[in-house]
Amino acid sequence: MIASVTLPRTIEMGGGAVKQLPQMVNNLSASRVLVVTDPTMAQLGYVDTVQSILHSADIHSDVYADTIPEPTASSVDALVAMAKSNDFDCLVALGGGSAIDSAKAASILLAFGGKMRDYKVPRIVNEAGIPLIAIPTTAGTGSEVTRFTVITDDDSDEKMLCVGLGFAPIAAVVDYELTLSVPARITADTGIDALTHAIESYVSKKASPFSDYQALEAMRLIAPNLRRVYHDGGDLQAREA
């Protein structure tokens, strides 16, 4: 059996990895960054942190903080309209899976136009959109490393699955320090989500030695450390694991 592996070109991992963001933007020859996020990330101050890091490197940035849980075609259209009006050449998705999924969809629409329904399966979108750097703030969905996004059609309420290399972020920052403010309930929910992904991967008929290693290691790390970090959100060792 042939195993196909898709990952971002670059992944910066570890505490403080978000400080590598300016170099990542420069590596993409980008100069105008739109931070795609949600109101909670703005309220917690993470957006200010990211913008400050970019500003210190003389990189212009602006913020779109109106992404919603379970993104819809119309919510993505609003993001695209804002990005087009300011001629941004790089998206930085900051937040949970919904913010990252919204940015994935916007990346393709900004490059090729049309409507979200034009890009749902069975179409496979391998064309590259505008560069997207994903910065997850929960340890659960894994959206920063996948070539999928799910957007709801406002008219039919269909959850449109969109697939292809074009939806995979070109780079990702996995910085556990950005998860320190996640409440216990969300820590538990996203942690169980990640554990479920690992179990599903391990028992899948499409499993490979590569995916088995990732799945087993994920289960080994999540099982004991999720309990610890649920009871003590500031347990840095458990958060990192």
Q: What is the largest CA-CA distance in the chain?
A: 49
3 state DSSP class of 37: coil
Question: On the CB side of 25, how many CA atoms lie within 13 Å of its CA?
Answer: 29
Residue 133 CB contacts under 8 Å (≥ 6 apart), including other chains: 21, 24, 25, 28, 90, 91, 92, 93, 169, 170, 171, 172, 173
Give residue limits of the domains in the chain. 10-179, 184-240
Per-residue pLDDT of the chain (241 residues; tens, 9 = 90+): 888 888 999 999 999 999 999 999 999 999 999 999 999 999 999 999 999 999 999 999 999 999 999 999 999 999 999 999 998 999 999 998 899 999 999 999 999 999 999 999 999 999 999 999 999 999 888 999 999 999 999 999 999 999 999 999 999 999 999 999 999 999 999 999 999 999 999 999 999 999 999 999 999 999 999 999 999 999 999 999 9
Q: Which amino acid does the sequence have at 168?
A: A
DSSP string, 68-95: -SS-BHHHHHHHHHHHHHTT--EEEEEE
CATH of domain 10-179: 3.40.50.1970
